[in-house]
Each structure stands twice: as structure tokens, then as C-alpha cells.
């Protein structure tokens, strides 16, 4: 059966506020210093990934709990290219990150606070009409592992009864035990370099060779490795890689991984081969680290 919009994607993940302090150098503790600029931006892996997908012209829905307070309208306005109508409003403060960007090398240091916002439950997810989607991407949140696994089981059940199954991807980013259970849940798994190191592997090849055994048969495992580029293992065949594409100057690495993930999803959805998709994702995330924010990446 033809879907109403064959290009629609659902992203399930966090929407928060990022307060970004861009500093001449990384600050010294217990000093009083000026920063170059302080700006506010929407943030959260789910929000950033869906925003970049929308920059590619994809119809994208974000399912998230939207907090309240002064920043709520600002964040919603800056997400106007993404459909938030499936999201829920919650009477708790917006989760907030304080981000220090070192202007010398574009590094980002994130201090996050968002514990008061409830996590999404299975009931929030089952309200969604799954037949609208070609692809569903999850931010693999450690604080919500059980619910996310239930949501994925719900999609799998849907997939058993359709000729047009939804592709499931998940991001395994943080260094936490609770998210190891996500490896065998998705068709496309994004594992971060930090998480690979958390398992004791020091190179992307080593990480992928070992962690692919945790994935379900037929899955693709993808690993971005900062300024070294990115690696991936297709369902059958050898590991492929792409080098990074550094900009003239690295300005802002915040959300490089979210941009990379969005571009991979976009490319794979267009049936672009894995190696070429990695290359495109490294080019776009290379462009991202050369600019502030995510606008105009495509």
C-alpha cells in the first residue's frame, strides 16, 4: 500500500534549550572572565537531528515532551520546520544545557540539567499512527531504556503485519550500561566513539568488529569518530569508512554527531550506498563544525 507521504520520518528524543557561551579559551575555574558571545539555541539530540532532516526537505515529526516556561515559545519557534504536533506539553521547566565553546578549537563542553521532565511512555507512542512513517529514529536515552524498548517492540509488531515495514534506527551515545540493551533493537545503530571506548575498544574498526556481534542479524552499525571521520559495517561485507572533511576553521562542534546521524538517515533513506552515505554525512557534519548552529546544512 502506498503511504500518504513516503518520505516522512519520526524522531523520538530530547528537545531542550542550549545556552552557549563562546569563550576565547576554555575558562579557568574560579575566575571572572568575559566570553565572546552568549546565545540561546534549541538543543537536544532528537531536536537537532530532526531539524537537520528538515533542512534536507524531509517531512519530519519530533515526538518529545515539551517543557514549559519562558524558553518554551523560543524553542518551538526555532523548530518551526519540524512538526511538533505529535509532541506533548508538560508543566515542568524546559531541560537546559550550559555549553562552553572554546573558540580556539570549537570544542564543546556540555553541562545538562533536565531530570524534572518526565520521559516518554509507551502510551505516548501508541497514539501515533505508524503507517505514516518510513523511518523512526530513537535517541537511545539511558533514563528511558525500558520505555524505548517497548516502543520498538510495538513497531516490530506493526512491521510483522505490513508489507511496508518501518526502518528503525537508534543512537547509542552515552557511557552508560543501561543503553547496551539497544544494540539488538534496531536496523541501523549509531554508536558513538565514547560508547565504543566505554566497552574498552580504542579504534572504530575494533569497536565495530566486536559490537556488531551485539546487533541483530542484518543490522548496519555506524560509528562517527570526530575529526577522524566515520566507519560503518553493512549487513554483509567489510567495514567501510570515510575521512572527515574539516572546514577552514573549526568553530562549533556542538551537535556534529546529531548532524551526522541526520545525514546518514537522509542518505540511506534515498538508497544511497553505505560508503557514499558516510562520505556525504562527513561532508555535511564537516560543514556543521565550520559554522554556528545548524541552519542551511544540506
- How far apart are the C-alpha atoms of 236 and 249, rounded to whole Å? 37
Query: Binding of ligand FRU at residue 262 (CB under 6 A)?
Result: no
Relative to beta strand 60-63, strand 135-139 is: unpaired
Contact with ligand FRU (CB under 6 A) among 103, 258, 267, 274: 258
Query: Alpha-carbon distance 101 to 38, whole Å?
Result: 10
* Cα 275 to Cα 103: distance, rounded to the nearest angstrom: 32
Binding string, residues 209-248; x marks residues near ligand ADP by CB under 6 A: ---------------xxxx-xx-------------x-x--
Counting Cα atoms < 13 Å in the Cβ hemisphere of 88 gives 16
In terms of Cβ atoms closer than 10 Å to its own Cβ (0-12, 13-18, 19+), residue 163 is: exposed
Site track for ligand FRU across 98-137, x = CB under 6 A: ------------x-x-------------------------
Residue window 246-275: x/- pattern of binding to ligand ADP, with contact defined by CB under 6 A: x---x--x--xx--x---------------
> What's the CA gap between 81 and 50, in Å, rounded?
9
Q: Closer CB to ligand FRU, residue 94 or residue 240?
A: 94
Stretch that binds ligand FRU, among 42-50, 129-137, 232-240, 262-270 (CB under 6 A): 42-50
| Of residues 43-62, those binding ligand FRU (CB under 6 A) | 43-45, 48
Instruction: Pick what 48 binds: ligand ADP, ligand FRU, none; C-beta below 5 to 8 Å, kind-dependent.
Output: ligand FRU
Q: Strand, helix or coil at 34? A: coil
Rule CB under 6 A: say whether 285 interacts with ligand ADP. Answer: yes
Residue 107 Cβ vs ligand ADP, minimum distance, rounded to whole Å: 9
Residue of 148, 142, 133, 149 lying closest to 172 (CA atoms) = 142
CA angle 88, 55, 15 (to 5 degrees): 30
Q: Which does 226 bind (CB under 5 to 8 A by kind): ligand ADP, ligand FRU, none?
A: ligand ADP
Site of interaction with ligand FRU (CB under 6 A)? 16, 18, 43-45, 48, 97, 110, 112, 254-255, 257-258
Amino acid at each position: 500500500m502506498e503511504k500518504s507521504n513516503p518520505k516522512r520520518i519520526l524522531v523520538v528524543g530530547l528537545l531542550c534549550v542550549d545556552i552557549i557561551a563562546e569563550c576565547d579559551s576554555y575558562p579557568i575555574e574560579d575566575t571572572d572572565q568575559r566570553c565572546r558571545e552568549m546565545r540561546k539555541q534549541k538543543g537536544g539530540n532528537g531536536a537537532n537531528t530532526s531539524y537537520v532532516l528538515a533542512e534536507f526537505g524531509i517531512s519530519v515529526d519530533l515526538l518529545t515532551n515539551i517543557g514549559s516556561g519562558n524558553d518554551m515559545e523560543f524553542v518551538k519557534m526555532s523548530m518551526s520546520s519540524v512538526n511538533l504536533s505529535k509532541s506533548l506539553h508538560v508543566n515542568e521547566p524546559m531541560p537546559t544545557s550550559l555549553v562552553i565553546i572554546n573558540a580556539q578549537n570549537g570544542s564543546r563542553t556540555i553541562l545538562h540539567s533536565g531530570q524534572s521532565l518526565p520521559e516518554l511512555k509507551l502510551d505516548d507512542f501508541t497514539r501515533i499512527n505508524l503507517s505514516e512513517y518510513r523511518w523512526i529514529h530513537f535517541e537511545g536515552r539511558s533514563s528511558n531504556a525500558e520505555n524505548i524498548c517497548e516502543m520498538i517492540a510495538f513497531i516490530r509488531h506493526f512491521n510483522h503485519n505490513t508489507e511496508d515495514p518501518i526502518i528503525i534506527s537508534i543512537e547509542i551515545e552515552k557511557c552508560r550500561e543501561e543503553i547496551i540493551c539497544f544494540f539488538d533493537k534496531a536496523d541501523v545503530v549509531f554508536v558513538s566513539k565514547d560508547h565504543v571506548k566505554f566497552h574498552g575498544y580504542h579504534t572504530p574498526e575494533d569497536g565495530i568488529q566486536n559490537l556488531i556481534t551485539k546487533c541483530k542479524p542484518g543490522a548496519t552499525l555506524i560509528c562517527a569518530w570526530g575529526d577522524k571521520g566515520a566507519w560503518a559495517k553493512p549487513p554483509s561485507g567489510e567495514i567501510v569508512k570515510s575521512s572527515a572533511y574539516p572546514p577552514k576553521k573549526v568553530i562549533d562542534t556542538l551537535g556534529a554527531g546529531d548532524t551526522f546521524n541526520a545525514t546518514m538517515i537522509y542518505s540511506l533513506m534515498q538508497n544511497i550506498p553505505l560508503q557514499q552515505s558516510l562520505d556525504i554525512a562527513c561532508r555535511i557534519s564537516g560543514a556543521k563544525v565550520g559554522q554556528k548552529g545548524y541552519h542551511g546544512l544540506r
